[in-house]
Structure 1
């Protein structure tokens, strides 16, 4: 009898109810692969895009892009990893983190330092590496700059806020509730804007003496896009890295010209960790700020893996804060 594992999969695109708790056969690792027994799994907004069909996937499909665990078997040709190693991944490799065990390409793994626990790793790999490339490589934030960060109390937001403060920036963050405002302030946010009750762009102009900010990090999408553009200084950059409120409507390049020769980019983490060297450098930069205490990882809530549907409902209803971890 072949070994099996339990996993969350979808057989049709749809809402959280599309998530099914399946039993799958486990094959031995192929060349370049390892078998991982997960101890913690990260929940990310991109998981809802795969589930809903906003980012279509071939069906039936596993879900999940982030996890941490131990290697329990190693395929041919794998170098640098052995049975028993503590490993983590996020943002690279095939979907399928929502599983008790899974096969995974060794080239997409990083070894987890002994002083970072599994839940912390699962809570930070994708979100933390996203913060790293956004702040340090896509638009390298300089000491003394003021930036606008949407969803400052979310998983990426709390990490990015702390990292921005570590870099010497002033952070203007948007939130949707007073509870989230308090959380953002506790993690270093200098100025908090309630986007439901305040004119975001007008408040940003007020806080910057009318100049606007050189960069806006926007993972919210449709609901904040216009305010993001209007918050930028001339020749500023809008980094639209997520669609939590829905996809942004098509934009005329002329709009960017009329608002001050603005730049607009829609990046993906996978393109910034495309080689093993880039992946290792990105992960090591994240591990460094976490181990030094410059960035604290806030796990706001945990769910049993089999309850992933409820986790998706809460995430989409914006009832979560910080990072969310699923436990096999």
Structure 2
């Protein structure tokens, strides 16, 4: 039998149960992947709490890396023994799982399983944010919230590689140093400084073309105040809770702003989109322009402890669950 984390009711980390499951054989178009490492992401918390509802019971997790151990009828492109990784769908908190073969990408030899599990969802999210949602150009100045988190550290480095100046918010001086070491030009301690005032000071009052906000409720309205007219507010997470509703007219009052709430899966839905996104990510990592920071590791059965650390903002960089 295979062990997995299962959720039978939504709630706190205590609802993450370590149980035996039956995986079975892959059906047409499917493969069975034996996981080596699984990524921890804030969307896992949203699924666990019911903010993003899932049919109960379910196995959480949307990111993993491992080896193909069985293939179903009609599968092309991957074979038994291939090293693979993926971002989505739900079900990665398990020793093994079934998944559609067209959602997998083969790993370059130089990328290990833990690195792959730390980069697939977060790295492709960064690629979506910087190259598709709003195309960052050389000379741009951008604001990245949670700059010392998994997505934040990758985004700081990728944006620097594009020639941008990066302003980032962090909660502690230690996180400021980590963000600075990964390309953040101007870390702002939001616990001590008003980030809107700092953005104004750093830009000489010009403000910004884009803000990337994964925090949500606590930062949303102030993030709008960091944008210059016709700037883009990219809300892609709710670490502090969902933002309060706003009237559309507020965007006009603050400078004819644009507001978007992107989801990675809409940007990698087609096979060619997935392959392009993963290839760009792998190329940047292999070139050394983006270095992955795995800040902490937990065993898969310790997923509840990992969730507690994530929600308490005790983590830095990426978190990997080892299998």
Instruction: Give your verdict on TM over 0.5.
Output: yes
- Tell me what 1:122 maps to: 117
Give the superposition deviation at 1:26: 2.1
For the pair 1:9 / 2:2, whether they are aligned, the reply is: no
Q: Distance in 2 between matches of 1:56 and 1:197?
A: 36
Q: 2:218 aligns with which of 202, 220, 223?
A: 223
Q: 1:87 aligns with which of 84, 87, 90?
A: 84
Q: Distance in 1 between matches of 2:311 and 2:113?
A: 25
For the pair 1:305 / 2:300, whether they are aligned, the reply is: yes
Q: 1:240 aligns with which of 230, 235, 243?
A: 235
Q: Distance in 2 between matches of 1:189 and 1:176?
A: 14
- Tell me what 2:207 maps to: 212
Q: Distance in 2 between matches of 1:274 and 1:104?
A: 15
For the pair 1:102 / 2:97, whether they are aligned, the reply is: yes
Structure 2 unmatched runs, 5+: none
Give the superposition deviation at 1:96: 0.8
- Tell me what 2:48 maps to: 51
- Length, aligned pairs only: 323
Question: Segments of 4+ in structure 1 off by > 2 A?
Answer: none
Matched position secondary structure for 1:13: coil
Q: Distance in 1 between matches of 2:110 and 2:320?
A: 19
Matched position secondary structure for 2:24: coil
**TM-score between the two structures when normalised by the length of structure 2:** 0.99
218-227 or 317-326: which moved more? 218-227
**TM-score between the two structures when normalised by the length of structure 1:** 0.98
For the pair 1:148 / 2:143, whether they are aligned, the reply is: yes
Give the superposition deviation at 1:137: 1.0
Give the superposition deviation at 1:20: 0.3
- Tell me what 2:263 maps to: 268
Q: Distance in 1 between matches of 2:301 and 2:272?
A: 35
Q: Distance in 1 between matches of 2:258 and 2:191?
A: 26
Q: Distance in 2 between matches of 1:27 and 1:40?
A: 20
Matched position secondary structure for 1:216: strand
Matched position secondary structure for 2:238: coil
Q: 1:164 aligns with which of 134, 145, 159?
A: 159
- Tell me what 1:179 maps to: 174
